Amino acid sequence: MTIDFSDKTILVTGGGSGIGLATAQRFAQLGGHVTICGRTAEKLEGAVAQINASNPPGSISSIVADVTVEDQIAAACDTAASATGRLDVLFACAGGAMHMGPLVDADADGVRATVDLNLIGSFLSLKHAARLMVPAKSGSVVLMSSGAGAFPHKWLWAYGMSKAGIDRLCTYAAEELGEHNIRVNSVQPGIVDDELMAAITAGGALLDDYIEQMPLGRLGTVDDIAAAVTFLASDDASWITGVNLGIDGGHHLRRGADYSKLFG
């Protein structure tokens, strides 16, 4: 079957760069009406221009929204739905890490900010997408987790616990929303060669540690993740829900990366 998002509306949070941008572009190339959101208007405008330059059969637009601010993410969901009157797909990609290091030295504010952005931001995005999907009795949600949420990566515990929460949010939401024909899945990327991870992928002991722990022995690309997300969001995956999908070159088969090596 050929994946087709023609006449479907899609919201991608964190769509201004990296995995979010690549996935938004793939949705547009597959015919979707895509809205991206993020906190920086200039970055969003650049992403829209980049996607438009590829002349996709779908459409692309943007709205400034912080996923941790409920009114803003609610407005982003409504805007994304305005093209057809419904919201078909949410890819909740926005996230980040505001703490890294030993637990005993942790800055509580950085830990709270990490949980707020990743877990609460994903919850608010899902809440307001589902608000629009339930009346339509249809929808697909993909949440952005991480391999760090599935198995320990030394010193990345604050980020990892917030991502583990996203995986549990996924399974709870899949159970609750299934009766409304809404599917919810999450993806757990390994290390991806994008601007967010540039300090690591440029080389060094931490990158070497990552590669050593991956059976496939290479960095991921944003397109690797985009391909999996668009599949999970598509009708080709219509009997898949509640899955936490590792996309990591097999990293989950071994041990997590040792982030203390970034500072060694």
* Catalytic sites, residue numbers: 159
Q: Which is it for strands 33-38 and 59-64: parallel, antiparallel or unpaired?
A: parallel
DSSP 83-131: TTTS--EEEE-----S--S-GGG--HHHHHHHHIIIIIHHHHHHHHHHH
| Pairwise CA distance, residues 61 & 47, whole Å | 9
DSSP state of 202: T
Residue type for 149, please? G
Gap between the Cα atoms of 96 and 17, Å rounded: 13
